[in-house]
Copies of this chain bind each other. A is one copy, B any other.
Amino acid sequence: MTNLIEYENSTDEVRAIYDDIRATRSSDYINNFWKALANHPPTLRRTWETLKEVMAGSGEIDPLVRELIYIAVSVTNGCEYCIASHTTAARAKGMSDDVFAELMAIVATANMTNRLANGYQIPVDDKFKT
């Protein structure tokens, strides 16, 4: 089991990142994902910078939609931790029960048709190649 590094026991390097996570999210809560990555500060820093830029940075895609996309990937991969944490995050950003259910329906359907396309060995239409 991975050791989880609490804020109180963290080095200055880790604490600076924890502080940025707290500030960015306007919440004191540091979830286990970051506490685990803190075992290797370069991974903690790099992963947080990427996540902050991609999920909380400027961009055209709405923050809630970003979470929906994140969940779609996590459900497809079957990542239990990521499904639990990002479903919670999406609800905090306003995901209703209906939106969650519609998201699941799309993810399920895409996983279905992906395999039909594989199995029937369907050639890509010329008009989709441009």
Which residues of A are at the interface with B, using a C-beta cutoff of 8 A?
A: 1-2, 29, 31-33, 36-37, 39-40, 42-43, 46-47, 50-51, 53-55, 59-61, 65-66, 68-85, 87-88, 96-99, 101-125, 127-130
Whether the Cβ atoms of B76 and A77 lie closer than 8 Å is: yes
Interface SS of chain A: helix, strand, loop or mixed? helix
Known contacts: A109-B54, A115-B75. The answer to whether A122 contacts B66 by CB under 8 A is no
Q: Which residues of B contact A73 (CB under 8 A)?
A: 72-73, 76, 106-107, 110-111, 114
Tell me the minimal C-beta distance from A60 to chain B in angstroms. 5
Q: Which residues of B contact A53 (CB under 8 A)?
A: 42, 46
